[in-house]
Structure 1
Amino acid sequence: MLIEIDARGLACPKPVINTKKELDKIENGSVVVTVDNSIAKENILKLAKSSNCETKIIKEEENLIIIEVKKGEGSVVQVKEESELENKCIYISSDKMGSGNDELGEVLIKGFIYTLTEAKPYPKYIVFVNSGVKLTAQNKATIENLKILEEGGVEIVSCGTCLDYYGLKDTLEVGTVTNMYNIVDIMKNTSQTITV
């Protein structure tokens, strides 16, 4: 079986996620991916290596890289189907990811939340505090992906004090309003809290 993907022009992490999705569908065969940058190429090669898949660079020019990822016996890309949520909490305290350039931070948080929709099992909770609440009330791109997570069973909660501070309580578009007592309770009763 041969599957072809044209991932040119797609922002990170979509090329690698699309590749993984296609590899997950087959037991044996090849996925041929076309990308237009070295970062996408390296991410696909890392995915293949971690999955014991063979790779071959078919073509490599300035803005055109074609990679074959061959899945066969011994490959471990197939992920077990998980319907349950992991007893984990993702704690998001900013509408940007990392420090340094704010524009880059906005791109990164958007990519992070999108990637969560593609990484199962989902966490049980996503908690938003401080300017992180803007992601549940103002940012259309993150709201769309958070709704996917919510439909998958993730409990999305935003700090009421924070929503009030930013004047967003009446514009919350996904999840529910909560308080600090509940946030502490969530963090105490999950096996792991991952702070972003």
Structure 2
Amino acid sequence: MRLDERGKQCPLPVVETRKALEAAGPGETIEVVVDNEIAVQNLRKMADHKGLEFRSEKTGEREFTAWVRAAEGGTVAAALAGQGTGEPGVAAGQGAGEPGAAEGQGAGRSGAAASQVAGEPGAAAAQASGRSDGCPAPACCPPAADGGIVAVISSNCMGQGDDTLGKLLMKGFIYALSQQEQLPRTVLLYNGGAFLSCEGSDSVEDLRELEAQGVEILTCGTCLNHYGLEGKLQVGGVTNMYEIAERMTGARLLVRP
């Protein structure tokens, strides 16, 4: 399959390649044509994250071609259906060899999960809650997102007003962030925040200190292109809007200076 992603803004090349991979057959190669190196880096990161084979080359003045090979185990949908067993529907059967075995918890009849082989509706809830009246336990809150603390920085100035003061405050904030007992898991830099991780920034050393302590530093590739900062990144990696949205929606806490 060939995708022509030239002229498309981030995160479209990554999103459309992901969709193509989900629809691809086992071992099928997706060819993606883009018009900037940042898009290639974003595709490589996506492939690395999924453990997929990836290669790329410059094929024209403003043309790059990337090849991503789908997993041998089949499509994402098939993998989810088989839960890694290679057989469609095994997830539902839990290896019991018959449809609905998951509901039966291996008891050989449907509905057993609901009754936990206790023979009475609501017994599962009663067992979990320790109640004997058969009433379901009160609903609990869903578990918190496990993406940790994510610091989101969209400017090289902190606050509004005087820019000189704002830059001084931002430098102080990033230094203070590196000294916290509870560090963020990720620092996302986009728009004017992209300047902070690039050559000439007073915050590069503090960001390197954060990275040395295990904090992920990610700078928006589209922003690097827009501000002419390609090749000037001094710390961390390049990211795309899909990954930025993924980190933000998965965060337990967002910090915005």
> Which TM-score tier does this pair reach, normalised by the shorter chain?
0.5 to 0.7
Residue 193 of structure 1, CA deviation: 1.1
Question: TM-score, normalized by length of structure 2?
Answer: 0.42
Shift of 1:117: 1.2
Deviations 1:80-123 (A, max 9, x none): xxxxxx81100000010000000000100000001011112210
Is residue 2:185 matched to residue 1:124? yes
Bigger Cα Rg: 2
Task: Tell me the residue number matched to 1:177.
Answer: 238
Write the letter of the residue equivalent to 1:162.
C
Q: 1:92 aligns with which of 144, 153, 160?
A: 153
Stretches of 4+ aligned residues off by more than 3 angstroms:
none
Does the alignment pair 1:138 with 2:199?
A: yes
* Range moving further from structure 2, 139-148 or 127-136: 139-148
**Unaligned runs of at least 5 residues, structure 1:** 1-85
SS in 2 for 1:177: strand
The residue type equivalent to 1:131 in the other structure is G
SS at match of 1:131: helix
Partner secondary structure for residue 231 of structure 2: helix
Name the amino acid aligned to 2:185: K
Q: Quick check: 1:101 aligned with 2:197?
A: no
The equivalent of 1:8 in structure 2 is none
Local SS of the residue matching 1:119: coil
Q: Give the number of the structure whose residues are more often strand, by fraction.
A: 1
- Partner SS for 1:141: coil
Matches of 1:149 and 1:87, distance apart in 2: 15
Superposed CA deviations along residues 51-73 of structure 1, whole A, max 9, x for unmatched, are xxxxxxxxxxxxxxxxxxxxxxx
- The match for 2:228 is 167
Give the drift of 1:153.
0.4
Alignment of 1:55-66 (within 5 A): none
Q: What is the alpha-carbon distance in structure 1 between the residues aligned to residue 200 and residue 255 of structure 2?
A: 22
Asked if 1:186 is matched to 2:247, the reply is: yes
CA distance in 2, matches of 1:104, 1:130: 19
Displacement of 1:139: 3.9
Distance 2:252 2:219 in 1: 20
Between 1 and 2, higher relative CO (CA 8 Å, sep ≥ 6) is seen in: 1
User: What is the alpha-carbon distance in structure 2 between the residues aligned to residue 178 and residue 104 of structure 1?
Assistant: 29
Could you tell me how far apart the structure 2 residues matched to 1:184 and 1:120 are? Answer: 26
Q: Give per-residue Cα distances to partners, 1:122-149, cap 9 Å, x unaligned.
A: 1000000101000000344200000000
CA distance, structure 2, for counterparts of residue 139 and residue 117 of structure 1 = 19
The residue identity in structure 2 corresponding to 1:89 is: V
How many equivalent pairs are there? 112
Identity over aligned residues, as a percent? Answer: 41
Alignment check: 8 A CA contact 2:195 2:201 kept: no
